[in-house]
Structure 1
Amino acid sequence: MTHIVKIETFLVPPRWLFVRIETASGIVGWGEATCEGRSETVRTAVDQLSEILMGQDALRIEDHWQVMTKGSFYRGGPILSSAVSGLDQALWDIAGKHFETPVHQLLGGPVRDRIRAYGWVGGDEPNEVAESIQAQMDVGLTAVKMNASGRMSPLGSVAEIDGVIRRVAAAREVLGDHRDVAVDFHGRFSLANARKVAPLLEPYRPFFIEEPVVPENTHLLQQFTSSTTIPVATGERLYSRQEFLPALQAGIAVAQPDLSHAGGITEVRKIAALAEVYDVQLAPHCPLGPIALAACLQVGFATSNYLIQEQSIGIHYNKGAEVLDYVVDTSPLKFVDGNFERLTGPGLGIEVDEAAVREADKRGHAWRGPVWRHSDGSFAEW
């Protein structure tokens, strides 16, 4: 009685899209198909993919993934991949609940007992960075990530570049030698600008530099990785093994697939295996909700080359709702000495507060990313 009888989506604040799949036996699985700024479009894609899944055995996860990703002549891209991701997570949640075991047990069993977490810190001034980092340290985290800059000129001025260095220096001063700071270039830098800034950051020993070039310029990555000793991370806007391959060949150190964008648990496990061939660590992108976070952790507990986990508890994007608002018991997602302890509940290991989700869906959201412009009026990368 594991055939699928109902599939629903919920657009919930602050900017997330949840997916609910129910089987004939009453087992419910949850997934997160959020695509920031495009979740309404993904909702339509989930509805279309539901035509494939309705009435089918929920436990045939790999076959469903194959059909959902390849069953149409036109494939790939963030919208389809995000829709597949949410449905795939929900199917794994059902499987775990059906077999009464955590998903990581179905993936081969745990390879670790805890996963280190990091938090995002903002602030345009050094003192603001220091205050934000201290707040993260106060909740026990031992690693943070910060944006290198706001809007950045194609070839940064002395003031722009010095601002980047001052903020990272301030972060290192607060963190000391035993905590880590990752620096996110966020695709805002040209290749030339990124190569100019990276050597100036090397004395502060960043954990990694993230997205030094936009994903469509992956062909330029090797020029950057070969120019710095700092580990390079990328991948939040890459959606498949095929898209990760050139980045891996370019010498990145950390792959950052997003489990709500890159085909869910099924594909990210395959990306992790491919990354292992290149001696690359996994650190999934996850500034999203509790379901996406739980899915990441389930992969992490069963994946040997898993470095660290991003999470968005308290992140500045979360206005109108928080990560823990949509779970019945928050304890599985609480930090313990800067880590997430191994999830032991069945499925994804969290219990979604369905009443809260249904109520939030009535409010919905229409989150959009900002549009930035340079001083001359031309488009600037956000």
Structure 2
Amino acid sequence: MKITAVEHFVCQAGGRNWVFVKVSTDEGVYGVGEGSLYGKEHTMRAAIEELRREIVGKDPRRVEYLWQEMYRHAFWRGGPVLCSAISGVEMALWDIKGKLLGVPVYELLGGHVRDEVRFYCNLGDGTPESLIERGRKWIAKGVDAFKIYPFPAVNYVDSMRPIREAEEKIASFREFAGNDVDIMIDFHGRLSPSMAILAEEVMRPYEPLFIEEPCLPENVEAMAKIARHAKTPIATGERLYTRWGLREIIERQIASVVQPDLCHCGGIMEAKKIAAMAETYYMATAPHNPYGPVATAACVQVDFCIPNFLIQEHIFDDMPWRDLVYTPVIELENGRLKRPTLPGLGIDLNLEEIAKHPYEERDQVKWYHPDGAIADM
């Protein structure tokens, strides 16, 4: 069996574009993957094309070997672009292997260790009223966990005003949702360590399941400073790539939750390896996933086979055509997904529907402080 083609399809998805991958073989079996990278869709197309030259003509069943070739034969290793392209291709290779053997991918990774996966709804930002209104819709459907991005732009040293503004949103949502609903607070790397320490203490009474990216992940020691003061579990990892990118966070036990993003970290097996590293320090794993349906399907395969899984991120209602660009639809019951049984990733792309929503140029949202200086977003 040999790989004959590697294709990419970009689908407009509101504020971003999804980048899907299809790997075909000479035996008619193909696999799908996703390597979405917000604001870098043209770059992703080029990166996937370069990987195509590496793997066409080779055996798709040698997933680990091909991953090593794509990663290690790139002298300039790592980073979001290469790792996202590898992720999309690697997902498709596992999809092919699962289809050939007639089993879901998680069966190839040790088998399932749970019978269902709990999802949380990413609500993003908004006013206290709008967050409650959006949350009400999903609580009525049984969803019992939500993530909120409550912070505006915050200076390295600032007044308590932005923290109190964020607190109002969290306090209102907690009062509305009650204590049986979990809330995760995404700091989104917008705060400095000093301000994040103050903010974590203010948020503590609302009992968040975790706080995410309390500061940017570029400086591990800065996040360690926050960890020394915080009582709320810290989650991070979405902007770190491969097991090497998360190694120091894990070894120094700076976080309680690692969040590999399967579109960026290197794919399915790399996420499982990261989870295994975290497990040795009794850390939980909660895959980051604000992207499209193929990424969700890949995350689910990992979620079912890792012992230290916590909860799965999902954007429930970003675009009306989310559930039209693939089949069969991933169906949740009370915010949980029962163990899938279809082979491979268990889904396929609807290329006709994707073609109805072609790429649209989207600039990254830009944040500024009141004086015009650039702010972290």
TM range (shorter): over 0.9
- Following the alignment from structure 1 to structure 2, what is the Cα–Cα distance between the partners of residues 267 and 365? 30
- Following the alignment from structure 1 to structure 2, what is the Cα–Cα distance between the partners of residues 347 and 171? 39
> 1:189–1:213: 8 Å Cα contact kept in structure 2?
yes
> 1:185–1:211: 8 Å Cα contact kept in structure 2?
yes
Structure 1 3/235 Cα, relative in aligned 2: closer, same or farther at 3 Å? same
1:264 and 2:261 matched: no
Partner of 1:151: 153
1:336 aligned counterpart, secondary structure: coil
> 1:139–1:335: 8 Å Cα contact kept in structure 2?
no
1:236 and 2:247 matched: no
2:332 is aligned, of 328, 335, 338, to 335
2:359 is aligned, of 364, 370, 379, to 364
Residue correspondence of structure 1 range 27-176 to structure 2 within 5 A: 27-176=29-178
Deviations 1:231-250 (A, max 9, x none): 00001100011111221214
> 1:11–1:365: 8 Å Cα contact kept in structure 2?
no
AA matched with 2:332: F
Cα drift, residue 358 of structure 1: 4.0
Q: Which moves more between the two structures, 132-141 or 344-353? A: 132-141
- Following the alignment from structure 1 to structure 2, what is the Cα–Cα distance between the partners of residues 304 and 327? 29
Structure 1 338/67 Cα, relative in aligned 2: closer, same or farther at 3 Å? same
Deviations 1:327-360 (A, max 9, x none): 1321xx1211111111111100113223223444
> 1:256–1:283: 8 Å Cα contact kept in structure 2?
yes
- Following the alignment from structure 1 to structure 2, what is the Cα–Cα distance between the partners of residues 81 and 379? 27
1:281 is aligned, of 278, 284, 300, to 284
> 1:313–1:322: 8 Å Cα contact kept in structure 2?
no
Deviations 1:126-185 (A, max 9, x none): 222222221221232110000131222323323222111111111111221111000000
- Following the alignment from structure 1 to structure 2, what is the Cα–Cα distance between the partners of residues 102 and 357? 24
- Following the alignment from structure 1 to structure 2, what is the Cα–Cα distance between the partners of residues 32 and 4? 18
1:306 is aligned, of 291, 306, 309, to 309
Structure 1 359/125 Cα, relative in aligned 2: closer, same or farther at 3 Å? closer
1:215 aligned counterpart, secondary structure: coil
Cα drift, residue 266 of structure 1: 1.8
- Following the alignment from structure 1 to structure 2, what is the Cα–Cα distance between the partners of residues 88 and 348? 12
Relative to the length of structure 1, the TM-score reads: 0.95
> 2:272–2:302: 8 Å Cα contact kept in structure 1?
yes
1:11 and 2:10 matched: yes
- Following the alignment from structure 1 to structure 2, what is the Cα–Cα distance between the partners of residues 367 and 33? 17
Cα drift, residue 67 of structure 1: 0.6
- Following the alignment from structure 1 to structure 2, what is the Cα–Cα distance between the partners of residues 232 and 272? 16
Deviations 1:5-27 (A, max 9, x none): 11110111111100001111101
- Following the alignment from structure 2 to structure 1, what is the Cα–Cα distance between the partners of residues 256 and 303? 17
1:374 and 2:369 matched: yes
Partner of 1:179: 181
- Following the alignment from structure 1 to structure 2, what is the Cα–Cα distance between the partners of residues 219 and 226? 10
2:7 aligned counterpart, secondary structure: strand
> 1:116–1:339: 8 Å Cα contact kept in structure 2?
yes
- Following the alignment from structure 1 to structure 2, what is the Cα–Cα distance between the partners of residues 357 and 128? 30
- Following the alignment from structure 1 to structure 2, what is the Cα–Cα distance between the partners of residues 109 and 265? 14
Partner of 1:223: 225
Relative to the length of structure 2, the TM-score reads: 0.96
> 2:18–2:34: 8 Å Cα contact kept in structure 1?
yes
- Following the alignment from structure 1 to structure 2, what is the Cα–Cα distance between the partners of residues 11 and 267? 24
1:133 aligned counterpart, secondary structure: helix
> 1:21–1:90: 8 Å Cα contact kept in structure 2?
yes
- Following the alignment from structure 2 to structure 1, what is the Cα–Cα distance between the partners of residues 362 and 110? 37
> 1:255–1:280: 8 Å Cα contact kept in structure 2?
yes
Q: Which moves more between the two structures, 334-343 or 255-264? A: 334-343
- Following the alignment from structure 1 to structure 2, what is the Cα–Cα distance between the partners of residues 256 and 122? 17
Give the share of equivalent positions with the same residue, in percent.
37
> 2:36–2:84: 8 Å Cα contact kept in structure 1?
yes
Partner of 2:204: 202
1:13 aligned counterpart, secondary structure: strand
- The alignment of Structure 1 onto Structure 2 pairs a total of residues equal to 373
Which runs of no fewer than 5 residues in structure 2 stay unpaired? none
Structure 1 147/189 Cα, relative in aligned 2: closer, same or farther at 3 Å? same
- Following the alignment from structure 2 to structure 1, what is the Cα–Cα distance between the partners of residues 74 and 163? 46
Query: CA RMSD for the aligned pairs?
Result: 1.3
Cα drift, residue 124 of structure 1: 3.5
Cα drift, residue 123 of structure 1: 4.5
